[in-house]
Structure 1
Amino acid sequence: MERWILRWKSFAELMAAAMFATMFLAFMAQILSRYVFNVPLSWTLEVCSIAYIWVIFWSCDILLSERQHIIFDVLYKKFPPRPRRWVAIANTAAIGLTFLAALPGILDYIAFLGRRHTMVLHVPFDIVYSCFGIFMIAAIVGAALRLRRLLSSSWKQNL
């Protein structure tokens, strides 16, 4: 199982790097075409925007662990370990259940967006925003895994 997780993490990192490279190359193409050849390209802005959306939602819950996110834990750190565990369980369950309840509507809306296309490249919006569905599923799975860890006997390592 751990080997599969390492392969998945490596694949996710390569995808994020490819998206950043795509953004950079499109940005450089725009600079070159606009300032060197005086012929601005319209497709580069769209490529940069789509790659940015993908890299944000792809990286947010797939590549970053919960500890790497920005959190406001001033009150949380004041609790002793046992109450902190129950606060973490309640927070994680609330986030996981909220995302799970919202998932059908979000997936339905992403499917609905397939009727529209981007203005320049004519990419269907369901493809552009499908990364949000991936993010939601990853957040739900991450919440379930964290709940499992918090409810296990080794819960102190996961606070």
Structure 2
Amino acid sequence: MRKLQAVVGHFARGVAAAIMAAMFVTFVLQIVVRYTARLEWLPAKFPILDPSLYGWTLELCLLLWVWLVFWGNAFVVRDRDHVTFDILYHAVRPSVRRWFIIISGIAICVSLVLSIGPTWEKFHILRLKKTATLSAIFGDWIRMRDVYSIYIFFLIAVGLRYAWAVYRAVRFGVEEPTHDTAKDAPR
């Protein structure tokens, strides 16, 4: 099980890194085109540098940013990496903390899972809408639903993560089981 978690974790981080790399390359391309746009002789000599061909770069950066945020928060960012306001949580006894985790975890899990249906219904109309400029590079098949579909994965993954937190709180209490503490220790 741990090996599978490690492989899935490496895959998720690899996808996030690939998204960041694609975003960076697109951004550098935007800069090159922007600074060479005033050189009228350059597109005449090198038609590939015609600035009118690169309107899609802004929309691609925005698409990659949306995917990076939701992919990263669903699959890469760990709970301990989030900023938390836990003064009250640490001020109470462990048994009360356990109930905090159970109640809040169930509320978050249920609300995220229940929002999948209405969200998908809203996405239904997005299947008809095309992106403004990405068809220039990807063709006519990419739709706005495809751009925002990562949000459904986010809802499922975070809902499952909170369900897992509730399970661990019920089974082990507030403290982490001893076999996980060595893995989570700072290196």
TM-score, normalising length: structure 2: 0.80
Q: Secondary structure at the match of 2:175?
A: helix
Whether 1:23 and 2:42 are equivalent positions in the alignment is no
Q: Distance in 2 between matches of 1:116 and 1:63?
A: 30
- 1:136 lines up with 2:155 in the alignment: yes
Letter matched to residue 75 of structure 1? L
Name the SS of the counterpart of 2:13 in structure 1.
helix
- 8 Å contact from structure 2 (residues 94, 174) kept in 1: no
Matched, 1:51 2:64: yes
1:116 alignment counterpart: 129
Matched residue, 2:92: 79
> 8 Å contact 2:95–2:174 — kept in the other structure?
no
Look up the match of 2:6: 6
Give CA-to-partner distance per residue, 1:14-60, whole Å, 9 cap, x none: 11001101111111001001102435321110110000000000001
Matched, 1:99 2:112: yes
Query: Alignment length, in residue pairs?
Result: 158
Secondary structure of the residue aligned to 1:151 is: helix
C-alpha RMSD of matched pairs (Å): 1.5
Task: Provide TM-score, normalisation by structure 1.
Answer: 0.93
Within 2, Cα distance between the matches of 1:154 and 1:74? 19
Percent identity of the aligned residues?
30
Q: Secondary structure at the match of 2:115?
A: helix
Q: CA shift at 1:154, angstroms?
A: 5.3
Q: Amino acid of the residue matched to residue 147 of structure 1?
A: V
Task: After TM superposition, give the deviation of residue 80 of structure 1 in Å.
Answer: 1.5
Specify every segment of 5 or more residues in structure 2 that has no aligned partner in the other structure, as ranges.
Answer: 39-49, 136-141, 178-187
